[in-house]
Amino acid sequence: MPLSDIRIKAFKAGVKPDGTVTSKLYKVTDEKGLYLEVTPKGAKRWRFKYRFKRKEKLLSLGVYPDVSLKSARQKRDALRTQITENIDPAELRKVEKLTNGDKNSFEAVAREWHIKFSTDWSKEYTARTLVHLDKNIFPWLGSKDINKITPPELLAALRRIENRGALDTAHRVLQICSAVFRYAVTTGQAERNQATDLVGALPPAKTKHHASITDPKAIGGLMRAIQGYSGTFVIATALRLSPFVFVRPTELRNAEWSDIDLDNAEWRIPAEKMKMRVVHIVPLSKQAIAILKDIQPLTGRDKYVFPSSRTITRPISNNTINAALRRLGFGKDEMTAHGFRSMASTLLNEQGWLGDAIERQLAHSEGNGVRAAYNYAQHLPERKKMMQSWADYLDALAHGADVIPINRESKS
């Protein structure tokens, strides 16, 4: 039941609206996330509860009667409008507080940048980016005017990260800071990007190779093990599909039925779901189609091809495929979910397929984002042949055939 001024004035400390006596704070709801808290001392405080990117959050809207019921509702409606525009009111409030003190502080500009660009990021990347800044930069440089931060000061903050053995994180934080500076320059809040002076200042990050099986005989054993997986049907199906499409684990887990065209044997992944933010086409082999048709009666009416066991509104977790591989007895230094990509890349190159077609199918960045955005269908006929040949090759290995990779360039 919506609140009214008459009802609000009747609320008393220690007595709930239903007459229950309590010594604690109690809440009375209004509408659309707005509610009133009545404290043990009789104070009445407005609160607005909302969800942003699946996380529940809470904001204070003032004290009654200083903030009337009408004003509280107006504030709530303004906040709901921000949410529909993919803006987190809590983050925006932080920026406004910082801006009132120093609109050009690094933290104020960084949070403004974060709000503006995170609308196109995944939930995980959005949270991770802010955590990097909160833990590694804001405590030392957050309050400084962004124009007065010098390269040595920024390097000192990065050295703290490096010295604790997190060199990869140091490089990542430098990239984030550079993006913040670029944003500040384009918006007139800074004169130059100080982070560019630090190119080469950090030791090169060690390249991490995802464990992968590339020996044909061992791949045959892997494929047979996958076929014998005894976990849930959804996970078993995701695992079976992985080697045939060799997309990134995040792209596999977030697969949606609306992106898959079984009639045309094509999975078209939207740009916003891809690491490089470019549309990606996965030609589906006969084997991949068979696997998808096998699970379609179970999840075909849902959003996700591989929904979580807890709720159909979310996909399986990031670590599901790796966990399945561990259950099959493959150690993390032997095979990983990401390793299916390395496996395909290694063998397809050995078989003589066109290098550019392989790279395009792996959705690797070509450096020029604009060109990549237009070239996502490049070499598609070749890629279709390659994906079917790859699936046939995997099937042959799974059946124990002694298959020797053939260099296509030597074939007539």
Supply the pLDDT for residue 266: 96
Supply the pLDDT for residue 376: 64
| Residue 299 confidence (pLDDT) above 60 | yes
Catalytic residue among 364, 379, 385, 408: 364
Catalytic residue among 44, 47, 114, 248: 248
| Residue 124 confidence (pLDDT) above 90 | no
The domain containing residue 63 runs over which residues? 5-84
- The average pLDDT across 192-216 equals 86
Catalytic residue among 135, 148, 371, 374: 374
Catalytic residue among 57, 94, 160, 275: 275
Supply the pLDDT for residue 403: 55
CATH number, position 286: 1.10.443.10
Tell me if residue 144 is catalytic.
no
pTM tops 0.75: no
Tell me if residue 338 is catalytic.
yes
Residues 284 and 308 in one domain: yes
Q: How many Å apart are CA 370 and CA 390, to the nearest integer? A: 30
Residues 232 and 247 in one domain: yes
Residues 234 and 132 in one domain: no
Residue at a domain's end among 84, 112, 132:
84
Q: Do 340 and 243 touch, CB atoms closer than 8 A?
A: yes
Q: For residue 286, is it within any domain? A: yes
| Residue 408 confidence (pLDDT) above 60 | no
Residue at a domain's end among 52, 84, 116:
84
Tell me if residue 128 is catalytic.
no
| Residue 345 confidence (pLDDT) above 50 | yes
Catalytic residue among 75, 132, 280, 338: 338
Tokens representing 18 are: 């239903």
Q: For residue 220, is it within any domain? A: yes
- The average pLDDT across 228-250 equals 95
Q: For residue 193, is it within any domain? A: yes
- The average pLDDT across 102-123 equals 81
The total of structural domains in the chain comes to 3
Tell me if residue 364 is catalytic.
yes
Residues 400 and 273 in one domain: yes
**Of the ranges 51-65, 324-338, 354-368, which is most confident?**
324-338
Q: For residue 119, is it within any domain? A: yes
Residues 69 and 105 in one domain: no
| Residue 321 confidence (pLDDT) above 70 | yes
Catalytic residue among 111, 132, 240, 341: 341
- The average pLDDT across 211-222 equals 93
Q: For residue 377, is it within any domain? A: yes
